[in-house]
């Protein structure tokens, strides 16, 4: 899954890359977290517009917002079938600007965060879906990120990764393309400019949102496997 990402690129560079007709004056975010508001790009009236939506999808038919935190990601393999996502997949797709995302690698009993990005911190977009929930006093607009099996280069960190789109042809295919074109881009990013590095565990705290989170730290040592045989289960144990 993808549970944190960064978007620190200058607004003018984002406007040029995504050909947005009306930009928001964005502040750098080094640790975007679920249930926070983030910029997304949607197609309306033949033009691309940027809006601020909350991360964590609330389907339009939901009785309340309680599942939002568990719907920050949608599996690409089943997105066209799952009730929570299928209508948005057909009608409400969006681009979510980013310049990196974080995944946690399990090392023994510890978890080490890594930042995955493109060389030079080149901005890109996640493939996203959005919804409008109208059962509150004010309509609530939310989004989720699509994920796929991770590229082999980063599969040792986590077995899933978000769908990364880096070129305008992919942006166009996702926003307004026909189903075959959309399906063709729902795959792991395999460009040679994909890079990753361990970063500070401070990123695990949503209160930390500063440039130091992007800085690489020394690669942690993997725990040494023990040659000792595991203890035999006690009588009556389920394992």
**103: annotated active-site residue:** yes
**2: annotated active-site residue:** yes
| In the chain, beta strands by DSSP E | 4-7, 20-22, 29-32, 37-44, 47-55, 73-75, 93-98, 100-107, 110-118, 124-133, 140-149, 160-162, 164-165, 194-198
Closest CA to 41 of 19, 12, 72: 19
Residues sharing a CB contact under 8 Å with residue 7, sequence separation 6 or more, in sequence order: 26, 28, 29, 32, 38, 39, 97, 98, 99, 123
Sign of the CA dihedral 19, 23, 24, 26? positive
Active-site pick, 12, 77, 81, 103: 103
Distance (Å, whole) CA 170 – CA 6? 21
The number of CA neighbours under 13 Å toward the Cβ of 233 is 5
Distance (Å, whole) CA 112 – CA 220? 8
Mapped onto helix, strand or coil, the DSSP state of residue 61 is: coil
User: What CA–CA distances, in Å, run from 76 to 73, 149, 179?
Assistant: 9, 9, 13
Active-site pick, 2, 94, 131, 141: 2
Residues with catalytic roles: 2, 103
């Amino acid at each position: 899954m993808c549970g944190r990402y960064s978007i620190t690129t200058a607004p003018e560079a984002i406007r040029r890359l995504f050909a947005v007709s009306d930009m928001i004056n964005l502040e750098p975010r080094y640790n975007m977290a679920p249930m926070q508001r983030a910029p997304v790009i949607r197609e309306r009236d033949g033009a691309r517009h940027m809006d601020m939506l909350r991360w964590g999808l609330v389907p339009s038919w939901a009785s309340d917002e309680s599942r939002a935190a568990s719907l920050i990601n949608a599996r690409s393999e089943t997105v066209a079938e799952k009730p929570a996502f299928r209508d948005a997949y057909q009608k409400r797709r969006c681009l979510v600007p980013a310049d990196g995302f974080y995944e946690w690698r399990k090392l023994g009993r510890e978890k080490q965060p890594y930042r995955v990005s493109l060389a030079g911190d080149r901005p890109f977009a996640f493939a996203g879906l959005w919804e409008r929930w109208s059962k509150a006093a004010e309509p609530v607009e939310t989004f989720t990120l699509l994920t796929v099996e991770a590229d082999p280069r980063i599969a040792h960190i986590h077995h899933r990764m978000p769908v990364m789109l880096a070129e305008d042809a992919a942006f166009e295919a996702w926003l307004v393309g026909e189903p075959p074109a959309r399906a063709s881009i729902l795959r792991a990013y395999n460009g040679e400019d994909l890079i990753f590095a361990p970063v500070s565990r401070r990123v695990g705290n949503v209160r930390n949102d500063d440039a130091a989170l992007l800085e690489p730290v020394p690669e942690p040592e993997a725990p040494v496997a023990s040659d000792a045989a595991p203890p035999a289960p006690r009588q009556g144990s389920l394992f």
